Amino acid sequence: MNGESLEVEGIDPHTTLLDFLRDRGLVGTKEGCAEGECGACAVVVLRLEHEGPRYVAVNACLTLVGSVLGAELRTVEGLSPQPGSRSAGRAAGPSVAELHPVQRAMVELGGSQCGYCTPGFVVSMFAEYYRREASLTPSGEPGLRWDPESVAGNLCRCTGYRPIREAMRSLPLAAEDDGFRARLSQPLAPLGEASLVREDVPGGGGTRRLHRPASLAGALALLAEEPAAKLIAGGTDLVVEVNQRDRRWPTLIALEAVDELRTLELGGEEIRIGAGLNLSELEHRLGGALPLLDELFPLFSSRLIRNRATLGGNLVNASPIGDSPPALLALDARVVLASQRGERELPLVEFFTGYRQTALAPGELLRAVIVPRRAPTHAHFYKVSKRVLDDISTVAAAFAVDLDPASNTVTRARLAYGGVAATPVRAQAVEQALVGRPWTAETVAELAPQLRESFTPLSDHRGSAAYRQAMLARTFEKFFHETQAGRRLGPQPPPSVVLPVLPPRPQKGANA
């Protein structure tokens, strides 16, 4: 932690990194929501990724301590040469010139008002600062790409974001002698096995355990031994249950260190995605191989969440409003389930068996997702939500159609939805009705009423049943019109921009 070792003992396996840090006096990391929506608790994890160590910002409120045992972490206090004091009441902090360039830009451009969200923004920006460097191409692209959504997982209630955006855009390249940058080229040990045990939990809670195996065989053995154990991967959904509904489990199995679950195989016919691969890394490593998923990623929660969330987790929690299932259903994905008994494959459409229920048998875990590589003639993803970024779907939809180029008739159609039924679903009757029909406005108009009636969605705080029902057809109409217009219609997420590379600014004091 910030370059020092912290001993972890006697804590409940459900203890979040946020609570742990604050208990240890590292109070710069804040709690704003405790459900991964506001980013005030963001901390930096140095993570061993495919290409080497990378700084990633994660929500400490959704990260269990057990998941990061043995990891190198930095909090906001550990980002400047003279870190903010751990003992309260220290008189003078660093001068503006001694701050990390990210911090300095935030100060000088008015990026903080009340300051409570600021540590989280600084942490997100810090990770982005070094990530941008890594994304520079050898071709000498004269700019740095800036993704607005890189800080979309951080909420600010005061500034209106404009100065934060300016601060982000003003950042130069990291200096050659930047110690944080130098750390990225040094080796990083992979996470190994770890465990936490707490006995005699008050209120009759018994004993609670967290195991973190370092191999798939180890994970399957633990699961065979205790089929009721709860698996936790990124934890971005599960720890919300811990924080908001006080859920506790006797045994947690953290999949963090299982390398076999973090593989990606880019085959000629199909792509096999390890279920434990986090979505940020997946997006990066896919490199555009699955265009429909590239439409999905920026809309999938926030970068902070995607840095932890896994594709497998999004499928296994089987939420009807998960965003990846519609896209994967439209792509005819299959899932690979593994247990000590062996592996089996299942079409994704058969994986969801009921509200938050799956075909996983006791002792079984989701090992991989297989996505065929064939490209439909047209395919798009739609997310209807109150906000463009960092939101949960009211309705999510993914459509894929194949057309016979000679006759302009539909040869194959996949219409998949989230948010309209107890599980992610496909409108199979309409899919069949489309086959053989011309791909025209008339066809779409004729099938729209049937599409609207395909499901009977509910009303909730995200939207009324009537709106959801309307969206069943409207999103498909939009899809059709986009195939005709040759462009996406309506508001899109704010695009990435390429900005001139600014020279590094002198910084007083040594880094890291």
Partner 1 sequence: MSSSEPPPNVPVTPHVGKALPHESAVGHVTGAAHYTDDLLPRYADALHAWPVQSPHAHARLSQAAIDDAAALAIEGVVTVLTVADVPGANEVGPVAHDEALFPEEVMHCGQAVAWVLGETLEAAKLGAAAVVVDYEPLPAITTMRQAIAAESFLTEALVIESGDSGDVEAALAAAPHTLEGELEIGGQEHFYLETQAAIACWDEAGEVFVHSSTQHPSETQEVVARVLGLHRNRVTCQSLRMGGAFGGKEVQANPVAAVAALGAHKTGRPVRVRYDRQLDMTMTGKRHPFLARYRAGYDGDGRIVAFDLQLYSDGGYSLDLSKAIMFRALFHCDNCYRIPNLRVVGRVLRTHKTSQTAFRGFGGPQGMVAGEDMLARVAQAVGKPAHEVRALNFYAEGDRTPYGQLVRDAERIPRIWSGLMGSADFEARRAAVAEFNASHPHEKRGLAITPVKFGISFTTSFLNQAGALVLVYQDGSVQVNHGGTEMGQGLHTKMLQIAADGLGVTLDQVRLMPTRTDKVPNTSATAASSGSDLNGAAVERACAQIRERMAEVAGRRLQVPPMDLRFAGGRVFPFWCAPGHPDHGASSLGFVELAQQAYLERVSLFAAGYYRTPAIHYDEAAGRGKPFHYFAYGAAVSEVEVDGFTGQFVLRRVDILHDVGSSISPLIDRGQIEGGFIQGMGWLTSEELIWAEDGRLATRGASTYKLPTLGECPEAFHVELLPMAAEPAVVKGSKAVGEPPFMLAISVREALREAVAAFAAESNAAPVELGCPSTPEAVYWAIEGVREGRAKQVSAAE
Site for partner 1 in 46-85 (CB under 8 A): 75-77, 79-80, 83-85
Per CB under 8 A, contacts with partner 1 among 394-413 are 394
- Residue 129, classed as helix, strand or coil, is helix
Segment lying near partner 1 (by CB under 8 A), choices 149-157, 172-180, 216-224, 361-369: 149-157
Distances (CA, A) of 288 to 134, 280, 321: 18, 13, 24
Are the C-beta atoms of residues 164 and 207 closer than 8 Å to each other?
Answer: no
Shortest reach from residue 13's CB to partner 1, in Å: 13
Distances (CA, A) of 445 to 231, 410, 413, 428, 452: 45, 15, 16, 17, 11
Distance CA 302, CA 309 (A): 10
60, 327, 365, 389: which one contacts partner 1 (CB under 8 A)? 389
Shortest reach from residue 24's CB to partner 1, in Å: 8
163, 274, 276, 325: which one contacts partner 1 (CB under 8 A)? 163
Conformation bin of residue 148: beta by default, left when phi > 0, alpha when psi is -120 to 50: alpha
Told to check if 8 binds partner 1 by CB under 8 A, we report no
Nearer to partner 1, 288 or 490 (CB): 490
Strands 42-49 and 230-232: unpaired
Conformation bin of residue 301: beta by default, left when phi > 0, alpha when psi is -120 to 50: left
Shortest reach from residue 10's CB to partner 1, in Å: 12
DSSP string, 450-464: HHHTS--PPPBTTB-
Nearer to partner 1, 357 or 484 (CB): 484
Nearer to partner 1, 34 or 231 (CB): 34
Token output for 328:
């994967």
The residues that bridge with 381 in the sheet, in sequence order, are: 398
Strands 378-384 and 230-232: unpaired
Per CB under 8 A, contacts with partner 1 among 493-512 are 493-494
DSSP 8-state code for residue 16: B
**CA-based angle 381:240:188, to the nearest 5?**
85
- Residue 168, classed as helix, strand or coil, is helix
Shortest reach from residue 281's CB to partner 1, in Å: 22
Told to check if 486 binds partner 1 by CB under 8 A, we report no
- Element housing 324 (H / E): helix 324-330
Distances (CA, A) of 423 to 83, 275, 320, 350, 418: 48, 19, 4, 11, 7
Shortest reach from residue 398's CB to partner 1, in Å: 15
Shortest reach from residue 40's CB to partner 1, in Å: 6
User: How many helices (H) does the chain have, and how many strands (E)?
Assistant: 15, 20
| Single-letter amino acid, residue 304 | L
Per CB under 8 A, contacts with partner 1 among 286-305 are none
16, 59, 112, 280: which one contacts partner 1 (CB under 8 A)? 112
Are the C-beta atoms of residues 415 and 429 closer than 8 Å to each other?
Answer: no
Per CB under 8 A, contacts with partner 1 among 367-386 are 382, 384-386
Nearer to partner 1, 99 or 379 (CB): 99
C-alpha closest to that of 238 among 215, 264, 210, 217? 210
Shortest reach from residue 247's CB to partner 1, in Å: 13
Segment lying near partner 1 (by CB under 8 A), choices 23-31, 310-318, 334-342, 405-413: 23-31
17, 62, 71, 152: which one contacts partner 1 (CB under 8 A)? 152
1, 56, 99, 434: which one contacts partner 1 (CB under 8 A)? 99
Segment lying near partner 1 (by CB under 8 A), choices 108-116, 135-143, 189-197, 351-359: 108-116
Helices (H), 24-65: none
Shortest reach from residue 191's CB to partner 1, in Å: 26
Shortest reach from residue 105's CB to partner 1, in Å: 9
Nearer to partner 1, 211 or 474 (CB): 474
Nearer to partner 1, 50 or 90 (CB): 90
Per CB under 8 A, contacts with partner 1 among 324-363 are none
Per CB under 8 A, contacts with partner 1 among 193-252 are 202-203, 240, 243-244, 246
Distance CA 52, CA 69 (A): 19
56, 156, 194, 254: which one contacts partner 1 (CB under 8 A)? 156
How many residues touch partner 1 under the rule CB under 8 A: the total is 103
Told to check if 278 binds partner 1 by CB under 8 A, we report no
Told to check if 106 binds partner 1 by CB under 8 A, we report yes
Quickly count: other Cβ atoms within 10 Å of residue 509's Cβ.
12
Distance CA 4, CA 24 (A): 13
Distances (CA, A) of 312 to 180, 205, 246, 322: 32, 29, 24, 11
Distance CA 477, CA 460 (A): 24
Task: Please provide the size of the chain in residues.
Answer: 512
Per CB under 8 A, contacts with partner 1 among 117-136 are 117-119, 122
Contact characters 29-48, partner 1, x per CB under 8 A: xxxxxxx-xx-x--------
Segment lying near partner 1 (by CB under 8 A), choices 51-59, 132-140, 272-280, 488-496: 488-496
Per CB under 8 A, contacts with partner 1 among 421-460 are 459-460
175, 188, 388, 422: which one contacts partner 1 (CB under 8 A)? 388
Told to check if 366 binds partner 1 by CB under 8 A, we report no
